[in-house]
Structure 1
């Protein structure tokens, strides 16, 4: 019986120690895990980004697509000039305008030194807009603002006189070593292009359009070993505005050939001459 109290004390101590032991807390539920996956599917107007998660459900967003609008800078054209002459040299108007001997009243009066009559165009910024998403075959358009410079070097000593009635005469008082007429236009070209892929890195492009221009400067440059001849910057008989057809064909990144044909007569009256230029485009 003497062990009963001791046994009772031991049981009580054990129960007390268990009562003081901390009870482990139940673990907190983990934060919701959102699983997101993206994929891009080709669509009519571009790709779409698709995401799936526990909180947001399924979300489809427009993927970033390549802009159809682009720009190129410092575009240049170099070409040679020809003259389409439709003048009726027997008309009364032309006879009044050309104060030259009768044997010179024909289109050879304004014959050009080929290879020395050149055209230079500068387009500081050109805008391109692509239609559609295909990279193999597509249409595009381009527009720009720039300068066109036409130089016409004559083989004969034609000379423009500024009078009440402007006239063209043959300069016979001196021997000319250079006789050139230059015209500068501020121009806006608008073109439609078609590009077709030939291989992975090569494409063929065609283009056709119009150019509208305003005459902003005109001058003649005559040189003689005998006297100094000042430039004439006041030629009154040239048209203020011009409209031209323009076409091009080439391999983008390699070379492009261009041609322009001026629909507007270069002169207001007396002559029906329309410049033609053919060259290479950079």
Structure 2
């Protein structure tokens, strides 16, 4: 191993000596790469000149900026909740909820009410010097609302929310609502030469609800009811993300109520984003 290193070192010295003795060129540039380090030596090509410049850099800290960058397979993991502004007296009068159903019954289990987003891709399109970009994509938003009161039950045709004592000892009672979503954001990248840089994005998203279901688990038995439950088919949301180097955060807040009638709840999500940019 030592002999090999000495041979490489001697070869390097010989190459540098040859470069210095070649007076036919006005400037000589020698580049050596060691792992992620790049060493560049420049001289004026004269035999006895002391005019030399040595530059050392780490090429892993920078990358080539492309006008369109694509990121495949992004995953978000966070929490799902909603801002409940329902007038429950009016909801009872309209027959959408049964007596006894109020905001306490719709309280969520924060630790178990989760949001998982699976983005097929996101692209970043350069607008101004790679600092200001347009960011867009396509993916699935999966929201799981776990009720604190296990008795909450959605009757179907027509939808009516009741308290069913059959489920009072349930291990799980959740409403799952999933959307096919297109996000559109204006991205500000303060470190365009880095892949895991610093910046933020803000914009809106449009989602189409393709699935909704209530899932109850009790004594090993699973009950699953698929229905639209009078949920709005479309969801428009304010969205944003913050890039703190390797740590990326995301959040969303719906512009309007997630229900067509009866309830008035605006969903919001926040959490960690596992993404290249």
Q: Same fold (TM over 0.5)?
A: yes
Report the Cα offset of residue 66 of structure 1.
5.4
Partner residue of 1:221?
Answer: 215
Report the Cα offset of residue 230 of structure 1.
2.6
Q: Which has the larger radius of gyration?
A: 1
Report the Cα offset of residue 132 of structure 1.
2.8
Give, in whole Å, the separation in 1 of the partners of 2:194 and 2:86: 50
Give, in whole Å, the separation in 2 of the partners of 1:94 and 1:241: 26
Cα 1:172–1:251 shift into 2, 3 Å: same
Partner residue of 1:272?
Answer: 264
Note if 1:251 corresponds to 2:250: no
Give, in whole Å, the separation in 2 of the partners of 1:267 and 1:243: 13
Report the Cα offset of residue 100 of structure 1.
3.1
Aligned pairs (5 A) from 1:56-71: 67-71=66-70
Give, in whole Å, the separation in 1 of the partners of 2:170 and 2:185: 41
- 8 Å CA contact 1:113–1:155 kept in 2: the answer is yes
Alignment match of 1:110 (pick from 99, 106, 125): 106
Give, in whole Å, the separation in 2 of the partners of 1:90 and 1:100: 9
Partner residue of 2:83?
Answer: 84
Give, in whole Å, the separation in 1 of the partners of 2:272 and 2:196: 18
Cα 1:94–1:79 shift into 2, 3 Å: farther
Give, in whole Å, the separation in 2 of the partners of 1:146 and 1:140: 20
Report the Cα offset of residue 94 of structure 1.
5.9
Give, in whole Å, the separation in 2 of the partners of 1:241 and 1:200: 36
Give, in whole Å, the separation in 2 of the partners of 1:274 and 1:94: 21
Note if 1:261 corresponds to 2:260: no
Question: Helix, strand or coil for the counterpart of 2:212?
Answer: strand
Give, in whole Å, the separation in 1 of the partners of 2:121 and 2:196: 24
Give structure 2 stretches of 5+ with no counterpart: 1-63
Note if 1:180 corresponds to 2:174: yes
Calculate the TM-score normalised by the size of structure 1.
Answer: 0.69
The C-alpha deviation readout for 1:186-219, integer Å capped at 9, x for no partner, is 0000010111139978732111011101000111
Dislocated runs of 4+, deviation >6 Å: 198-202
Report the Cα offset of residue 77 of structure 1.
0.8
Partner residue of 1:125?
Answer: 121
Partner residue of 1:234?
Answer: 227
Q: How many residues align?
A: 209
- 8 Å CA contact 1:100–1:168 kept in 2: the answer is no
Cα 1:184–1:200 shift into 2, 3 Å: closer
Cα 1:85–1:92 shift into 2, 3 Å: closer
Cα 1:219–1:79 shift into 2, 3 Å: same
Give, in whole Å, the separation in 1 of the partners of 2:184 and 2:173: 33
Give, in whole Å, the separation in 2 of the partners of 1:188 and 1:198: 24
Partner residue of 1:60?
Answer: none
Partner residue of 1:207?
Answer: 201
What is the RMSD of the two structures over their aligned residues, measured on CA atoms? Answer: 2.2
- 8 Å CA contact 2:68–2:123 kept in 1: the answer is yes
